[in-house]
Amino acid sequence: MAGPGRGVTIADVAARAGVAASTVSYVISGKRSISPETAGRVMQAVADLGYHPHAGARSLASRRAGVIAMMFPIRDGMHLPVLMQFAAGAVAEARRHDQDVLLMTADEGPAGLARVAASAMVDGLILMDVEVRDPRVEVLRRLGLPNVLIGFPADSKDLTCVDLDFTAAGRACADYLADRGCGDIALLGAAEAVYERRTGFAERVREGFLGRPGVRAEVRPCPNYPTEVQRAVKELLAARPDLTGLAVHNEPAVGHVMHALADAGKRVGEDFHVVVIGPDEVAERVHPQLPSVLVPAETLAQTAVRHLMRKLDGLDVPDSTLLEPQLTIR
Amino acid sequence: MAGPGRGVTIADVAARAGVAASTVSYVISGKRSISPETAGRVMQAVADLGYHPHAGARSLASRRAGVIAMMFPIRDGMHLPVLMQFAAGAVAEARRHDQDVLLMTADEGPAGLARVAASAMVDGLILMDVEVRDPRVEVLRRLGLPNVLIGFPADSKDLTCVDLDFTAAGRACADYLADRGCGDIALLGAAEAVYERRTGFAERVREGFLGRPGVRAEVRPCPNYPTEVQRAVKELLAARPDLTGLAVHNEPAVGHVMHALADAGKRVGEDFHVVVIGPDEVAERVHPQLPSVLVPAETLAQTAVRHLMRKLDGLDVPDSTLLEPQLTIR
DNA sequence: TTCCTCAATCGAAGCGCTTCGACAAGCTTC
DNA sequence: GAAGCTTGTCGAAGCGCTTCGATTGAGGAA
């Protein structure tokens, strides 16, 4: 099955099936009609020999590499588990379209994009963690390499962007808290670095959260580590003694926030309300369980890959796709 | 710089430099000696045109793809941040050797290995999170694709394996606790699923931890989420009232373990000792700071990639590389 | 000067695939 | 039953690169 000797070529398959190499190619690609008998014999030969087309040869001849690149942020303050989910979702979806995924890191920057584009190593590109002013975007535009962005740069004209509607997510949190009578609310967000970079989603959450009229609201960055989270919560409570509602958009912090609130004598779900933006597990596995807005990393990744595939096939896709956030009450 | 039109070929470079295409190739690869003047002109032309060799053509002609695959575990209970560090380290090191990294997930299993090998899509492979009995290992053996494993399967004969010496890490933790007079110790490890899969490192930590004579020791799996961690700690303390030393090999749990211990009235650093296997931040950012054994994901990744590169160049590498753990006291 | 060596370069032959145009049969259609 | 379509298949060209001789001149040994 795995083929013993190295290098089963299309010629080997053709010989075994008693047809021309081009016929084998057409059977595999389905680009010309082939009689069922011939096709059957060819497929059999393919299976018998464990044939897989040589990727390089194929890309050379067809100008399609069968690979897409994902440029990953590996940076301070990014929320890792979500990234992993994203990667897993993207690879899974790409494989469904018979594509592989090349992993790039943001360190390579714009030059990396130019490199993979010029070497025809990949057919398309998914760019993650897009910043409001992102130098890579400009390069991408003139490269002409089909691409999809996760996130929205300042000027998203002519680009295909996909993201959760973070503004709506922020608004949903504010609404949830306000509806429970909180007139004084705050959001603990990602680490400071994320804000400094002007990562799109952080700004949009803020915008949505602060937009609710008739409520006093504030957004603060929040570190990821136990003692610092505790301190941040303490400071917040000291600064805003009338605070009764809190949104947390920082996964590893949630458990510690809950602790700090308990230490401060707040009874969550009674005189104090908390809502989470993050994975279900995080919201479920604290006591009490919290309402939450899911960041649908896997769906996002799938959508991005699908859009990219459509672009590769010359089909059109919406310029901008915003996934509707869903607030789950527990 | 980024090249305007698509498809600058070696012929374009050759024409501009006034040499034959083969000469350009030799300048780039350095496989034959070329006069400095010619080389200079060629390099200039390369830069002027923004030439990058077509990856497919190159792989077809040279039987080297310039890509290595990493097969990633995206599974329950794995500790994500460490994986990310690993990925980042591997990509960085690979780029230093002018290689790219193809991302695969363990879902594709053995068939995925066969596929990338047969299609000559990658030159080599790094396999992560190897289990004691791993079905992929057998396939790998007969595929003949150069590879490096992170972790050790039961039979590591003829394989190149790299890992932290987890046995020594477990032992170091036991020793640390015993040296502080703890005669009754326990280790809280990864989630149960990790043990069920018989992931190598978990078993080896256990072995090392339990090996210290004259100490009553035990290893327990530990979930990752706040309330469950609390419960696990409570159960442990109830079952072992004389417990005075604890090792934690589960990053997200550390903060919550500390809380649970405080709740139980244990004074860590005084009548009770805790040591962590995990990243420095995790150990530093709790109160009190804890001693810890670092899992050097980046070094591990670098080592793996370097070994793989050497294998690709036909050089030999040690069959088994165990990184010495370092216990940092804070 | 002649012969040999060596460094520097060129040209051509593939690598394994896709794709285009051609062609032989088997059908219609009048 | 000739003219035109289809359908299924083949052969050849070529994608852009590497690599293996072959070739050319220059320098040294004789």
Write the pLDDT tens digit of every residue in A212-227. Answer: 999 999 999 998 887 8
pLDDT at residue A225, rounded to an integer = 81
Distance CA A20, CA A122 (A): 29
Residue A237: closest CA among A203, A209, A283, A274? A274
Confidence of residue B83 (pLDDT cuts 50, 70, 90): confident
Q: Could you give the dihedral angle defined by the CA atoms of residues A316, A320, A321 and A326, in that order, rounded to the nearest 10 degrees?
A: -170
Helix (H, G, I), strand (E, B) or coil at B72: strand
Find the mean pLDDT for residues A231-248. Answer: 96
Q: Does B118 sit within 8 Å of A95, measured CB to CB?
A: no
Half-sphere exposure of B172 (CA within 13 A, CB side): 21
- Quote the tokens at residue B271: 């009548």
Nearest protein residue to the C1' atom of C9, measured from CA: B23
At residue A76, the pLDDT reads 60
Using CA atoms in the order A162, A167, A171, A173, what is the torsion angle rounded to 10 degrees? 60
Contact (CB<8Å) B226/A285: yes
Nucleotide nearest to A7 (CA to C1'): C16
Structure tokens at B29: 């690869």
**How many Cα atoms within 13 Å fall on the side-chain side of residue B290?**
35
Tell me the C-alpha distance between B200 and B86, whole Å. Answer: 17
Q: How many CA atoms lie within 13 A of A155 on its CB side?
A: 8
Strand D reaches within 7 A of the B306 CB: no
CB within 8 A of A29, min separation 6: which ones? none
pLDDT value at B317 more than 50: yes
d(Cα A98, Cα A64) in Å, to the nearest integer?
12
Q: Which residue among A55, A114, A225 places its CB closest to the CB of B120?
A: A55
Residue-wise pLDDT tens digits, A279-305: 888 888 788 999 999 999 999 999 999
Give the best residue of A54, A228, A257 to mutate against chain B (max B CB count within 10 A): A54
Environment class of B317 (CB within 10 Å of its CB; exposed 0-12, middle 13-18, buried 19+)? middle
**Cβ neighbours, 10 Å, residue A316:** 9
pLDDT tens for residues A92-119?
Answer: 999 999 999 999 999 999 999 999 999 9
**What does pLDDT average to over chain B?**
92
Confidence at residue A82, expressed as pLDDT on a 0 to 100 scale: 77
- What CA–CA distances, in Å, run from B68 to A48, A94, A317, B150? 27, 18, 32, 15
Give residue A2's pLDDT band: very low, low, confident or very high (50, 70, 90).
very low
Return mean pLDDT, chain A: 92
| A34 Cβ under 8 Å from any chain B Cβ | no
Confidence of residue A3 (pLDDT cuts 50, 70, 90): very low
The mean pLDDT value for A24-32 works out to 97
Looking at CA atoms only, how far is residue B308 from chain A in angstroms? 18
Rounded-to-10 torsion of CA A112, A107, B93, B27: 30
Chain B residue numbers with beta carbons less than 8 Å from the beta carbon of A286 are 225-227
The beta-carbon neighbor of A252 closest among B115, B139, B252 is B252
Output the pLDDT for position A9. 97
DSSP A134-188: -HHHHHHHHH---EEEES--S--TT--EEEE-HHHHHHHHHHHHHHTT-SEEEEE
Q: In whole angstroms, what is the distance from residue A207 CA to residue A170 CA?
A: 7
Do residue B74 and residue A87 have CB atoms under 8 angstroms apart? yes
User: What is the DSSP pairing of strand B147-150 with strand B161-164?
Assistant: parallel
Indicate the residue of A60, A95, A118 with minimum beta-carbon distance to B50. A118
Chain C bases closer than 7 A to any CB of the protein: 7-12, 14-21
Nucleotide nearest to B23 (CA to C1'): C9
Residues ≥6 apart with Cβ < 8 Å to B214: B178, B183
Q: How far is the CA of A23 from the C1' of C19 (A)?
A: 11
Q: What is the distance in angstroms between the Cα of B196 and the nearest Cα belonging to chain A?
A: 21
Please indicate whether, in this complex, the C-beta atoms of A118 and B83 are within 8 angstroms of each other. Answer: no
User: Cβ of A56 and B55 within 8 Å?
Assistant: yes
Q: Which two tokens stand for residue A39?
A: 């096709």
Contact B92 A105 (CB under 8 A): yes
**DSSP notation for A267-307:** -BTTTBEEEEES-HHHHHSSSS---EE---HHHHHHHHHHH
What is the rounded (10 degree) CA torsion for B222, B255, B246, B187? 20
Per CB-CB distance under 8 Å, the chain A contacts of B118 are 2-3, 8, 50-52
Q: What structural domains and CATH numbers belong to chain A?
A: 10-53 (1.10.260.40), 67-163+298-324 (3.40.50.2300), 166-293 (3.40.50.2300)
Task: Quote the pLDDT of residue B227.
Answer: 85
Sequence-distant (≥ 6) Cβ neighbours of residue A35 within 8 angstroms = none
Strand C atom within 7 Å of B40 CB: no
Residue A181 near residue A214, CB atoms below 8 Å: no
Write phi, then psi, for A146 (nearest 5 degrees). Answer: -55, 135
Say whether A114 and B2 touch across the interface (CB within 8 A).
yes
Tens digit of each residue's pLDDT (9 = 90 or more) over A172-231: 999 999 999 999 999 999 888 888 877 788 889 999 999 999 999 999 999 888 788 999
Question: Is the predicted pLDDT of residue B278 greater than 60, yes or no?
Answer: yes
Q: Which nucleotide lies nearest residue B13, CA to C1'? A: D16
Pairing of strands B100-105, A100-105: antiparallel
pLDDT at B3: 35
Closest CA to B258 of B279, B280, B273, B240: B273
Cβ separation of B55 and A120 shorter than 8 Å? yes
In this structure, the strands spanning A273-277 and A320-323 are unpaired
Q: Which residues pair with A72 in a beta bridge?
A: A105
Which residue has the least CA–C1' distance to nucleotide C14?
A: B61
Q: Given a cut of 90, is residue B266 above it in pLDDT?
A: yes
Q: What's the DSSP call for residue B39?
A: H
Closest CA to B128 of B207, B74, B193: B74
B55 touches strand D (CB under 7 A): no
Question: Cα(B275)–Cα(B247) distance, rounded to whole angstroms?
Answer: 5
